[in-house]
Structure 1
Amino acid sequence: MKQHRGLTRPSAWTLTRASAMATTVGAAFWAVAAFMTGVGFADEIPAATTSTTAATAPNGRGAIIPVSDEISDVTTESIKRRVAGALEEGAGVIVFEINTPGGYVTSALEISNYIKNLENVKTIAWVNTDAYSAGSMIAVACDEIVMAKSSTLGDCGVIMGGPTGPEEVPEGIRAKAESPVLEQFRDSAAKHGYDRLLCEAMVVKEHEVYWIEHVETGERKFVETGEKDRLLETDRKTSVFGLEVTAPSSKEPEWRLVKTAHDPVSDSEMAVDQPIDKATELLTMSQSRAFAFGFCKGIVSSEKDLAARYGLSLPIPRIEFTALEVFTRWLTSMPVRAFLMIIVMLGVYVEFNTPGLGAAGLVALIALGIFLGAPFLTGLANVWEIVIIALGLILIGVELFVLPGFGVAGISGIVLLLVGLLATFVPEEPGRFPIYWPSMEAGVEGLKRGVQTLGAALVLSIVGIVALSRYLPRIPYVNAIVPANPTPSEVMPSDPYDGLARVGDVGRTIGALRPAGKAKFGTMLVDVVSQGQLLDEGTQVEVIERMGNRVVVRPARSA
């Protein structure tokens, strides 16, 4: 998730599944941060009693809003639009059907706060099938969570990929990355009764969590190792002659580890492995564990189950992404951006090789606008990146049309242009603005995609330019846009003496020809040579042969 783009752009703090983040990108690239989100349940609520009676919609109206794929600024605005539409239709229950690997920090934070601030409507998170990262953050922000029979919730971590594999994020960067995520989960835990310790175990690995129960009352709660050892200790420490010794306790401990919990899917008891979260792992829960730990309130595998649980009328309206929202997200994909850059390069080539400002230049400008506009709308590009690109284009234009040669302006323009284009692929990192070398995984992966996209576009553009110059001019209709190369006869320079003294022209000698001299044809004075005769001054002569600047004359027949 992101903390940049002014107030709307995501940053390199991308919430993505921690297991996927563990893959080493390569020796040449650093990997970036991945955040997943988690939830918990209240200490005072025993896990066996977490399935509560669901509130129903008073008017039977509800709406399902799918939340899928990567969470971005487009997702944020889409959810706001769809929720507003559902409320206008009188929906009393809004179900967010979540199936996402994660997304951008600021997008998920904004969505979570938006959901929490909704009034006079019950919000349900239906995990079908995965709610990792930003998906978990959105899920715990809702009033209630239900899950499909085979689904997963949780997993939030901050790691950095290095040349030799995953590495710990530096403490300063780590604090910035974890702080807003932790605070959001803590707020959700307090608001909806989730266990705070489990929420923190989603984000940081330092927590080793145990699930214990009171021997007499059956009260269950989650504790860390130190608290578990204190409550379950069977030995007691005492002092003998000033020395501290450990002696067996005559009193049985009041607490014990939880061994089994109810599995709502199989409707039977399942074994509980202790600790439920190790200090070397991030807490991730299946639907059964989420139910046991107090996150999931019930198993819902179909819209029919939803309708029965919340008193909704079937069919429940589904409010999907609009075609424009889907199209905008599609425009930011790597193949599409590579294609747009190819169009830009080919359009510039054709424009520079044809007179005037034509269709090719217009197409190139439109393609460049889409190339920059789509990531800007999704929160991937920022204003400063577009400014750098514009400045680079201006410097290149100055080099081409104002300054002679190829120097500082041209090189600077190319560097700025490349930096700006690559930056549109790289999410920003908190506290590092505007130009920086990415250190988090999402930033490095974005830079890698940018290099791959622009590199592929450059290679394919060169192939396209060769095709445009050699083959396409021969294709009907295309040759009207791209003219064919001229023939040698068409590019041969005109005769500089053409029109001065043509064969058959008649003039008069200026001075004697012996046999070379000068003759005047009209107002033109031309060097001529006779066929060997000696001709007097003023003799009327006729051109009988001309080859380049050699003009051969003879006395005119009328002379």
Structure 2
Amino acid sequence: MKRLRLAIYMLLIISGMTMLFLPADQASGSGDGEIVYIVPVEKEVERGLQAFLERSIQTAEEEGASHIIFEVNTPGGFVDAAGGIATLIRNAEPDTTAFVVERALSAGAYISLNADEIVMAPGSSMGSASVIDGSGSAADDKAQSAWLANMREAAELNDRDPIYALAMADREIEIPELDITDENILTLTPSQALEVGYAEEVLSTREEVLEYIGYENAEIREMEVTLSEQIARFVTNPIVVPILLSIGSLGLVLELYSPGFGIPGIMGASALLLFFFGHLVAGFAGLETVILLGIGIVLLLIEVFSPSFGILGFLGIGAIMGSLVLSSYDTSMMLMSLLIAIVVTIVASVMFFKYVGYNGPLKRVVLLDQAGNDQGYISSESKNEHLGRTGTALTILRPSGVAEINDERLDVVSEGGYIEQGRKVKVISVSGSRIVVRELKSDEAE
């Protein structure tokens, strides 16, 4: 019954994921043969957004679109993803316009600069593109230099003065006419952007933008992020990846020590399924990574129920880790995420085993029973009743031999010295069946 419930659970997940792959777009207007695609660039800039924009641009090109409008509203994000998106926009066959509807900050400013034209809405802003590391501190000189070169190149792409792009990323660059000193990073308002040539127009609505670019009568097709792409954008976030891996590995480990297929197993399996699903949708993982993951799981199961001195276990772990690394867009980031997950799993597992103990499938292959005296198992009889008694050495003790104590022949060991046959001895300690004796001197009482 438990296996049936598990099979149904997995089938529902796979069916749901299949439905999530269906793309969605909306079309409006009869037009005059011209097609304009509206593509949102929203939330954080990361690899999931890059995968969505790649699909959007590819769809627009296949449908013969004349123009693509990117509606930008983002606080920025990751430099590597911004670089990939910039390349997509530069290489797009249709003409492109970046319509900054609210914010185009940091990586968003860089993306906007790669479009053929920039239009800003009233009250919007563009700039503040300094590079910071994972801890929130300024990036090192190498990363900063590379980013400044990218900003300069993006500005010069459409004959814009690069000094303003550099001022967006480097607070040491002063722009006196815009009241930018060495304490500030440049963020342009619409009027400032228009003044310095970083925006072609300031327009309020999408309709005004379409009229400005000359496609007010074109067929409008709006791309939408599918649910699968929303999930992919979430699970491919570098902050979320180590969390998912930690939940996945810890859940599966705890399931081995929990009865039945319960909450830990469901959580672990779901976390790993989300990880691979998101990376499959984002285009980072292929079928080979799923096959490699399956091989690793099978090898681990064989090792658990048919031990091979750890060989299959190591191969299984290697296959699973290999599938995770292959599915990642950044090997160093994935290795760091795996390290975090391993540490979390080890610490949590030790605490679980200490305070909860074994109570799952591994209990079948781990011998936990103990044979104690209270269960009738006695490895040897104790001779504690002879402690303090005296007797006679029947043989020479050097140091072991036989003595008669309380009319009983016993194997004994001298305290360390040589004791001749017939000497009086006294039992000074008993440990199980081991009896230690000492020779009694003539002046000692028995």
User: 1:203 aligned to 2:173?
Assistant: no
For 1:433 and 1:368, the matched residues in 2 are separated by 17
Cα distance, 1:150–1:422 mapped onto 2, change above 3 Å: farther
Amino acid at match of 1:112: A
Matches within 5 A, 1:368-387: 368-371=272-275, 374=278, 378=282
Q: 1:141 maps to which residue? A: 114
Backbone CA RMSD of aligned residues: 5.4
| Correspondences of 1:31-46 after superposition (within 5 Å) | none
Letter in 2 for 1:178: S
Which letter maps to 1:310?
I
Whether 1:327 and 2:219 are equivalent positions in the alignment is no
Give the aligned length. Answer: 322
Give 1:113 shift: 2.0
Aligned 8 A contact 2:90 2:114 in 1: yes
Question: Are the structure 2 counterparts of residues 318 and 169 from structure 1 closer, same or farther at C-alpha, using a change threshold of 3 Å?
Answer: closer
**Structure 1 SS opposite 2:163:** helix
Specify which structure has the bigger relative contact order, considering alpha-carbon pairs within 8 angstroms and separated by 6 or more residues: 1
Residue of structure 2 in register with 1:126 after alignment: 99
2:190 partner letter? Q
One-letter code aligned to 1:283: L
Correspondence for 1:61 among 6, 31, 35 = 35
Q: Deviations over 1:420-468 (max 9, x none)?
A: 99999x9959xx7996x8xxxxxxxx899x67x958x959x969x97x9
Q: Paired residue for 2:81?
A: 107
Q: Could you say what secondary structure the match of 2:118 adopts?
A: strand
Deviation at 1:347, TM superposition (A): 5.1
Task: Give the C-alpha shift of residue 395 in structure 1.
Answer: 9.2
Q: Secondary structure at the match of 1:98?
A: strand
Q: Does 1:175 align with 2:139?
A: no
Residues 1:73 and 1:288: Cα distance change in structure 2 (over 3 Å): same
Does residue 189 of structure 2 align to residue 286 of structure 1? Answer: yes
The alpha carbon displacement at 1:108 in A equals 1.7
- Contact 1:61 1:313 (C-alpha < 8 Å) held by counterparts: no
Report if aligned partners of 1:347, 1:360 keep a CA contact under 8 Å in 2: yes
Secondary structure of the residue aligned to 1:123 is strand
More deviation in 313-322 or 104-113?
313-322
Specify the structure having the higher radius of gyration (Cα): 1
Residue number in structure 1 paired with 2:154: 188
Query: Given the alignment of the two structures, is residue 308 of structure 1 paired with residue 211 of structure 2, yes or no?
Result: yes
**Counterpart code for 1:324:** S
Q: CA deviation at 1:67?
A: 0.8
Paired with 1:391 and 1:118, the residues of 2 have a C-alpha distance of 40
Question: 2:388 aligns to what?
Answer: none
Whole-angstrom CA distance in 2 between matches of 1:134 and 1:307: 25
Call closer, same or farther: CA 1:202–1:376 in 2, change over 3 Å: farther
Distance 1:92 1:308 in 2: 14
Q: State whether residues 258 and 359 of structure 2, in contact with CA within 8 Å, keep that contact through their aligned partners in structure 1.
A: no
Q: Which runs of 5+ in 2 are unaligned?
A: 1-30, 361-446
Q: CA deviation at 1:154?
A: 1.2
Residues 53-452 of structure 1 mapped to structure 2, 5 A cutoff: 59-119=33-93, 121-159=94-132, 166=137, 169-170=139-140, 174-179=141-146, 181-211=147-177, 273=179, 277-311=180-214, 312-313=216-217, 316-332=220-236, 342=247, 345-346=250-251, 348-351=253-256, 367-371=271-275, 374=278, 378=282, 401-403=307-309
Unmatched runs of 5 consecutive residues or more in structure 1: 1-56, 212-271, 438-445, 471-559
Are the equivalent residues in 1 in contact too, given 2:105–2:128 (CA < 8 A)?
yes
Letter in structure 2 aligned against 1:327: I
Change (3 A) 1:113 1:292: same
TM-superposition CA deviations, 1:366-390 (whole Å, max 9, x none): 6434335535765899999x999x9
Q: 1:397, CA displacement in angstroms?
A: 8.6
Q: 1:129 to 1:58 in 2, by over 3 A?
A: same
The alpha carbon displacement at 1:364 in A equals 5.1
Q: Report % sequence identity.
A: 27
1:186 is displaced (CA, Å) by 2.6
Question: Using the alignment, how far apart are the partners of 2:176 and 2:200 within structure 1?
Answer: 21
Whether the 8 Å contact between 1:392 and 1:416 is mirrored in structure 2 is no
Q: 1:169 to 1:307 in 2, by over 3 A?
A: closer
> In 2, are the aligned partners of 1:206 and 1:280 still within 8 Å (CA)?
yes
65 and 169 in structure 1: CA distance in 2 versus 1, 3 angstrom threshold: closer
Whole-Å Cα distance in 1 between the matches of residues 68 and 262 of structure 2? Answer: 51
Partners of 2:193 and 2:309 in 1: CA distance: 68
User: Structure 2 vs 1, CA of residues 208 and 394 (structure 1 numbering), >3 Å: closer, same or farther?
Assistant: farther
1:20 corresponds to = none
Change (3 A) 1:427 1:350: closer
